[in-house]
Chains A and B, each alone.
Chain A
Amino acid sequence: MREVELRRDRAGGASDSAVESGAAWYTERLGVALVVVYALLACLGVLAVVGAIEGAFFVGRFDARYYRTNPFRIPPQLLVYAFVGSLTHVFTALAADPDAETRTVLRFGSRVPVALLLVFPAYVLFVSLPGHVPATADLEWTRQLAGMAFLLGLFVEHAVGGFRTVGEALILGRIVRPMLGRLGRSATDASE
């Protein structure tokens, strides 16, 4: 097949990470189905982000003052942004490595649940940092809060690195550090 030869050429020329063996995702039905599912999820996320989906995750209303007075109540909208951010990682990784194997494509998607889970610690960390405590419930703070959740999905390894720093500074550092070290390693593997 022509594509396979082409990919062999590229694997020899440019040191691509995932093309040494196996077929590209678009040659397998499962790979195409996966990417279609990701695309549909991304469409859903975009609809939620523009405020077209009402309900618990509706982004059109956001009362920053409420979250300022209830610091441990986590805005559910952040989950939407983390979800969209992790799908952004899926598509940017796919655009950077378009011949990825189906397994690699599946691994791109494994970030979605990780990002959704990390929203909670990241929010608590974010609102407790000196520069980020909302003095006034202003537009910038609200938007950067959503941006924080978005970047959490896009660059999980940065969040894990930040948590590692905090964990090492805490008195629990000796317990937390090896755990986060393992987590960081697996997150970095997933990003490759």
Chain B
Amino acid sequence: MSADDVDAATDDTEVARRSVTDAESPPWYTEPLGVALVASYAGLALLGGFVTAGFAFPSLVSGGAVSVGSETPLAVPPQLFLYAGLGGFAYVFVTLSSNPEADVTTVGHLGLRVPAALLVAIGVFLFASALGVAPTDAGPGAARTLAGSAFLTGLFVEHGLKALRSVSARLYPGDPRDLYGARRGSDDRER
């Protein structure tokens, strides 16, 4: 196993790139499973949209419920998962519209990014100050900054993951390049 293999496995964009080349398999809308998958994605995205608009669970998005303050420093605001999920579904539909003939397997693969996006958003929230997305004031703009970074984390999971990876490598004593260079040799070449 070479370093390139590791790279291919860790690079999320590889999924999208490969999906464009699978032209020979039947598109998703010819199979009931594919239609069901896309319908469930659309349903969940629509539900998320309703929640952000305040039609359902209005306590999640209305005013004072956003607690980014110091009284509960560890708890993650549940709103972030909403926006990260919406970002994940945005990625799904953007990719689907750029490659409308994708097969069912690809559509399923796209959906796998959504749980990853939800979870990576936790790390981005906790390291918001180290990543430069921490809100500077306590007004409504602060909550919007956090929600926006959660949305972008959902949309570009691999960016969030890369940022967290560099934070993690700097966290421990020793040269971060040792962590990158020892077995993941091609990471240096990438940047």
Q: Which of A54-105 contact B (CB under 8 A)?
A: 59-62, 64, 77, 81, 84-85, 87-88, 91-99
> What residue of chain B has the Cβ atom nearest to residue A45's Cβ?
B119
Considering only CB atoms and an 8 Å cut-off, how many residues of chain A contact the other chain?
65
| Residue of B6, B74, B130, B164 with highest tally of chain A CB at under 10 A | B74
Interface of B is mostly: helix
Considering only CB atoms and an 8 Å cut-off, how many residues of chain B contact the other chain?
58
Q: Among B4, B10, B103, B108, point to the contact of A26 (Cβ < 8 A).
A: B108
A146-B74, A154-B164 as given contacts; A91 in contact with B10, CB under 8 Å: no
A88-B123, A94-B112, A150-B123 as given contacts; A51 in contact with B75, CB under 8 Å: yes
Q: Which of B148-178 contact A (CB under 8 A)?
A: 157, 161, 164-165, 167-169, 171-174, 178
Q: Among A46, A98, A161, point to the contact of B172 (Cβ < 8 A).
A: A161
Nearest chain A CB to B188 CB, angstrom units: 15
Task: Say yes or no: is A139 at the interface (Cβ < 8 Å to chain B).
Answer: yes
Is A188 within 8 A of B183, CB to CB?
yes
A81-B126, A88-B120, A162-B174 provided; 17 other pairs, C-beta below 8 A? A14-B14, A17-B9, A18-B9, A26-B108, A46-B122, A49-B76, A59-B75, A62-B73, A92-B161, A94-B116, A96-B11, A143-B128, A148-B171, A150-B126, A151-B164, A157-B179, A166-B174
